[in-house]
Amino acid sequence: MYKILSLFSLLIIPLFLAAQPKGKIQNVLLIMSDDLKASALPAYGDKICKTPNLDRLAATSMVFDLAYCQGLACYPSRPSMMRSIYPGSKKKPITLGEHLQKFDMHTSRVGKIFHMGVPNSPRNGDSGLDVPACWTEFHNTKSPETYTPGLYRQMNRGIATRKMEGRQGIGTKERYWAAVEADVSDGSDQADYLVAEKAVQLIRERKEAEKPFFLGVGFFRPHYPMVAPKKFFDMYPLEKMRIPPLIEGDVDDIPPAAHGFMSGQLLNETEEGRRGMWQAYYASVTFMDEQLGKVLDELDRQGLTDSTAIVFTTDHGYHLGEHGFWQKSNLHEEVTRVPLMIRAPGLKPGRTNSIAELVDFYPTCLDLLGLSLPKEIVGKSLVPILKNPNTQVRKTALSLHNERHVKNKGYAIRSANWTYMNYGKKGEILYDMVKDPDQYTNLIDNPDYAENVRKAREQLSQRLQQVQ
């Protein structure tokens, strides 16, 4: 028996290990924020938000200006990304982590990578709808969320109080509009702080192990409730918040099915509430950015930066009052467009207008590592774009609002010049994204755009065949 095992060790194991990454890039660090709209970041043109760590990552990365999510909420977007399938697909390829384990790579996560209900999971410290098989090891955090000591504010009701009683928390109907200016100045009682601390520890352990790794670091902010130390709120005075205009008749030319399910719940009636939402969103983004900086710094300290590809993204974007819309589950640009930065050692940083989808994350990682791809995944490697930002791997991006519970199912494709949305018998929308990037005018019945509409319908039909 001993001789058989020895023979196996000599012949089989070396062949298996030979399949590990042997190029310059040995590891992948995935960093995800939650509910992060691209347009709120300085790297994407915002002039108010402060994200020094994301800024320095962007300076050394390929920044994708036209990256799009496939699902419009945390779930189904996250499993779509981690399995490289479209929401609603009957296919179920193994997760990226499971595939990497086949090549003897260590896979770990801390925080939210697959779906976790917020504020439920971070308050309870559970794994939500995580896929344990994806990870060699995984870690959760516990934080008080809405019940954090500090000034609690409920923007849709104009409430500001330090009392714990009556706060909107797990399962309550108005938790979407809650924020807390936390008393603990460094945020050490908050989920994102704890996620960063654990990520730092895991990076040190991976350095000591000297084994290729995939590490997922999932931050919870700026997802509601928007909790951050008071100092971050102080960076953004209410009177300096720029809020989208509310224009009478703005959405009269689009079908009601396209409005999404998140009404303002009084927010559209008060300017102070809308400003408060922007203030809290910016504050929680900057708090998240500070934690992200700790992770990047540790990678540098451990000498792993030159062997580790870094991917930063989110699950979907977010409405903060544009067209009177709030939150997510909407096919407009503020929700479907996501930040995507990929830092690949050995490849030049830059900026690209090439279209990308979150399902492309999976094959891109494998391509960077020089590893084979599973057959069932639908994503395309973005490495050709990392090598040449003018390269195109897609003509359109597909986003889907097709979960079982959704009444107004809809689909959207984004090309370089237009966005088309289809809600079946409930209506269609076409926006000229060159002349009307903020999506104010529906051109679906404009005869000058008849050919665009015909082409868009045809392309959507072709793209939806990939969802099977």
The answer to the question of residue 256 being in a domain is yes
Nearest Cα to 31, choosing from 404, 288, 239?
288
Planar angle of CA 369, 204, 303, nearest 5 degrees: 60
The answer to the question of residue 262 being in a domain is yes
The answer to the question of residue 56 being in a domain is yes
| Residue 151, both tokens | 């000034």
Q: What is the pLDDT of residue 18?
A: 42
The answer to the question of residue 155 being in a domain is no
Report whether the peptide linkage leading into residue 225 is cis, meaning its omega lies within 30 degrees of zero: yes
pLDDT digits (tens, 9 = 90+) for 71-107: 999 999 999 999 999 999 999 999 999 999 999 999 9
Which residues of the chain carry a pLDDT beneath 70?
1-19, 22, 261-265
Return the bridge partners of 340, or none: 64
The answer to the question of residue 171 being in a domain is no
For residue 348, give the CATH number of its domain: 3.40.720.10
- Count how many domains the chain has: 1
pLDDT digits (tens, 9 = 90+) for 208-219: 999 999 999 999
User: Among positive and negative, which fits the CA dihedral 389, 217, 51, 359?
Assistant: positive
CA atoms of 75 and 113, how far apart (whole Å):
11
The answer to the question of residue 92 being in a domain is yes
Domain range for residue 346? 23-141+191-387
Q: What is the pLDDT of residue 171?
A: 87
Contacts of 253 (CB under 8 A, 6+ apart): 441, 442
Q: What is the pLDDT of residue 52?
A: 98
CA atoms of 290 and 270, how far apart (whole Å):
31
Q: What backbone phi and psi angles, to 5 degrees, belong to 129?
A: -100, 35
The answer to the question of residue 4 being in a domain is no
CA atoms of 258 and 408, how far apart (whole Å):
8
The answer to the question of residue 467 being in a domain is no
Please state the pTM of the whole predicted model.
0.95
